[in-house]
A = this chain, B = another copy of it.
Amino acid sequence: MTVDYTAMWQDLGLDLAAHEGLLTVLGAAYDEVYLSQQNRPEGMSYFDFCVSEIHGLRVKELMDAKAAGRKVVGSFCLYVPEEIILAANGIAVGLCSGADMGSAHSGRLLPKNTCAMIRSFVDFKLAKVCPYMEASDLVIGETTCDGKKKAYEIFGELHNTFVLEVPHTKSEAARVLWRSELDRLVARVEDLSGVAITAEGLAEGIRIANAKRAALQRLARLRAASPAPLSGRDALLINQIQFYDDPTRFTGSLNALCDELDERVQRGEGVAPAGTPRVLVSGCPMSAPNWKIPFLLERSGGVIVGEESCVGERGTRNLVPEVDGSRERLLDAIAERYLKIDCAVFTPNEERIDHVVAMARDLNADGVLHYVIQFCTPYATEAYRVDEALRAEGLPLLKLETDYSMEDTGALETRIQAFLEMLRAKRGE
């Protein structure tokens, strides 16, 4: 970054020394994980730029928007409908929750058996190092898992917070409850922004969010090609950046990259030689800058061809139908779209099992890596059903459970290498 943003960070109340430390670590990790890659598409330069300005230019844009009266709304979950935030001329951002801040702070507030993602967002808040969080006029939480549901009670003492009730099932009664939660959210966002949420506003929000998701779907489909035209690391990064970049600019840049990848696929050009074991990653979200598993897997000679994850196809699979209609009708369509998300917090959740199998087939994966953040009960328990389904399909599965620390990378890498070796041997059969 050539511009000095220190004054902006100071105005946001960041702990400048801790923030500087975070940026240094982040920069070094990015060099190692990303810039070391060979044969990257040129279109990735936009996303490299996004990362280089993640705490700079993009935050400046948010601050300028706030100065112009717009509101910034942060969240940690796919179940927060960005269409509603966009309809109030707001800016939706996914908040920092992908780095280990050492739990020096959250250890006082949260049990030690709390998952790394939840610990991370509470730590980011307490350590005052996330400009997106500090810029957020409101954080929208949800009741998805026990850990987040209860952590928001504590987080709510630290930041202006609104919690959406996401039901446990997709029954008719649960749909009615969820639909009523969107009314409650609309009222809160209107109150925050002073902007009336209209049918026109929602239609525009739907259009913007759909275009972004359609571009991400396009990217996902291109990765079915062999050789894979893009690394899994880069695809994950793009999926992470969608949560904080300007959505329309992001969509344009992603479509430009996809044009380039289209040409690559036609030329039969890829990021890894033919015969490289192709892996679908399934399970818990990898929030930025959580790149640990993809880096280890690709460094070990595999290539990731899809993410069955919140930061991946779980969030992009479904669009909202672009219907004309009243505000209520549009909110109905939004409510319905969101309840299609196959998060493991739902019971039953057969859709997800079907999706894992279908994605592995569609993307020509040789095997599946099931990723669980330690202490994430929903995904850890659902892994049993995933395992059963993949066995029935003859698809090898590697289950990994880890946190954000780097202490277990050696052990993880050994298991990943053995898995890739097995996939290569299976191919040779």
Interface residues of A (CB under 8 A from B): 109-111, 113-114, 143, 145-147, 149-154, 163, 165-169, 171, 173-174, 176-177, 180-181, 344-345, 347-349, 372, 374-375, 377-378, 380-385, 401
Contacts and interface: CB of A to CB of B under 8 A. Distances in A.
Nearest to A375: B113
Contact of A150 (B163, B169, B382): B382
22 contacts: A109-B384, A111-B381, A111-B401, A114-B377, A114-B381, A146-B378, A147-B377, A147-B381, A149-B168, A149-B345, A150-B347, A153-B348, A153-B385, A154-B381, A163-B347, A165-B167, A165-B171, A165-B174, A167-B167, A167-B177, A173-B180, A177-B177
Given A173-B177, A377-B113, A347 B382 contact: no
Given A110-B384, A150-B382, 4 more contacts: A111-B383, A173-B176, A173-B180, A375-B377
Query: 8 closest pairs, A vs B, by CB?
Result: A150-B381, A111-B380, A143-B168, A146-B377, A173-B180, A173-B177, A146-B146, A177-B177
A111 B378 CA distance: 10
Nearest to A142: B168
A403 to B, nearest CB: 12
Contacts of A169: 143, 165
A375 B146 CA distance: 11
Nearest to A152: B347
Contacts of A181: 173
Contacts of A374: 113
A75 B275 CA distance: 52
Contact of A345 (B146, B153, B154, B180): B146
A114 B376 CA distance: 10
B384 A154 contact: yes
Nearest to A143: B168
Contacts of A177: 167, 173-174, 176-177
A143 B347 contact: yes
Contacts of A145: 146
A203 B120 CA distance: 51
A119 to B, nearest CB: 11
Contacts of A401: 111
A119 B147 CA distance: 19
A332 B19 CA distance: 54
Nearest to A169: B165
Interface centre among A146, A153, A344, A378 (most CB of B within 10 A): A146
Contacts of A147: 146, 377, 381
Contacts of A166: 168
Contacts of A165: 167-169, 171, 173-174
Given A153-B347, A165-B169, A384-B110, A375 B375 contact: yes
